[in-house]
Homo-oligomer: A and B are copies of this chain.
Amino acid sequence: MTSAAPSSRQGGSARTGRPRSAEADRAILAATREALVELGWPGLTLGDVAARAGVAKTTLYRRWPGKSALVVDAVAALFDERLDLPDLGSLQADIEGVVRQFAALLDRPETKTALMAVVAESTRDDALRERIRTAIVDRQKRLVLLGRERAQARGELPRDTDPVASARTADLIFDVVAGAVVHRTLVSAEPVDTDWARRFAALLLGGLTAATGD
């Protein structure tokens, strides 16, 4: 499940000339993550990334529109790699598990420093917001859907009746889970330990099961 490709050539009929090096793409994204670890978002410069990747700055600008988009692509791969939903036997356990995975991901220096920054930029850049949505947000909503399916199969949650309400609830849950973990980790700057994960999962689970009707 390879993550987002960089912006492919826009013009349709491009066949002639030297082809773009695929190796360069990998090197650039790896260099970006590496630089992010060492320097953090504010210290990361495209010139430095280019130098680490053994690539000219020009090449970099030919493929990404700027620093933010590059970082989104570099970080998105980590989300695919690091987040999954192993079946832990109960919805409570599954929630705890994904919460702790997500917290661990946010604790990595690459993501910790970069995620809020690109979100901040995205408030003024629609293309960037769209890139974040497709490369990160929408891809990870699968976890919510999968978790609910399993819980329904186990009988922990009722079957969906209205598909529209179902989708809205999934979005709500995603915002609550992701938002709470991000806020705990980056704003409150407190650890997401076993205790917190358990208490958060209990709160969420209580809310989900209490809301019989709506």
Contacts and interface: CB of A to CB of B under 8 A. Distances in A.
B40 A124 contact: yes
Interface stretch (A27-35, A80-88, A152-160, A168-176): A168-176
Chain A binding surface, main DSSP class? helix
A23 interface: no
Interface residues of A, number: 53
Please tell me how many copies of the chain the complex holds: 4
Interface stretch (A6-14, A45-53, A142-150, A196-204): A196-204
Contacts of A207: 202-207, 210
B179 A199 contact: no
Contacts of A132: 187
A113 interface: yes
Interface in A171-214: 171-172, 174-176, 178-184, 186-190, 196, 199-200, 202-211, 214
